[in-house]
Amino acid sequence: MAPLPSRERGLVASGGAIYTRALVSGSRYIHGTAPEEQARLSLLNDLLNAACLRELAIRPGERILDVGSGLGHLGRAMGHAAGRPALGVERSDEQIAGARELARGAPDETFLEMRRGDALDLPLSAEEWGSFDLAHARFVLEHVPAPERVVAQMVKAVRPGGRIVLCDDDHALLRLHPEPPGVMAVWEAFVRSYDRLGNDPFVGRRLVSLLVGAGARPRRTTWIFFGACQGDAAFPGFARNFAANLTGAREAIAATGAVTVEDVGDAAAAIAAFARRPDASIGYAMPWAEGVKP
């Protein structure tokens, strides 16, 4: 792993541990799978999927693998765009059950096959390896201790000439204005919590390097803007997602020792007040990268 810039090293230092040392430990999804988190993920998909589908530019007939498919919103949409079912791999039984419930009766219900498995050890048959036209992962690499292993498996899963698309966070990119009191201290503690779990809160800046390291030829990189200002119909949703992102991880945030659970609650209240300001804006961007298997 490349050394982190000094500001980011300060953000992820926690309890005397440095981020690179934490890679030896296990990791987990910081937000869990409670109903409140599933509701937040549904909102997140509503806010982001149109932009993600635009960048994916899925072609009719493509065979698609969606790694870390979660509740399946984007996986179903990708399958629908291709005109054939996508394969979604998800390790959480709760998420798979939620995905099936959400899909029931939907127009795109049949466009996603959910399969239980881990992104670090994809549950593919011998015939499936090397058969996909597109392997996709969004918000996965930041939650695993060895993202390079995930990307290597994705490259192995596609055919020669197949695409690998990665979209993930770089949590140093958040900007709020006017900055609500106490919120950024809680955000920085949220970023520190990744260190304690063996995860990388800045993996988004490494997407192209991860593609190259896995043997793919990088073709394109861009940003997916994730934000809005007061007056934009999407702004309340972005503000709710931001507050829920923190409250859903409050125990992990407080475990850093930098802030308390009460501080997280206060930050959520400050975000709610911020969201009513006529001059409020949230700026964030998710790095996105596409590579091709030689």
Could you report the per-residue pLDDT of 36-87, keeping only the tens digit for each? 776 776 788 888 999 999 999 999 999 999 999 999 999 999 999 999 999 9
Cα angle at 286 between 284 and 288, to 5 degrees? 155
Q: Where are the domains of the chain?
A: 6-292
Question: Can you give the pTM of this predicted structure?
Answer: 0.87
Local confidence band at 32 (pLDDT 50, 70, 90 cut-offs): low
CA-to-CA distance for 211 and 222, rounded, in angstroms? 14
CATH architecture of 6-292: 3-Layer(aba) Sandwich (3.40)
Closest CA to 214 of 146, 167, 286: 146
pLDDT tens digits, 61-75: 999 999 999 999 999
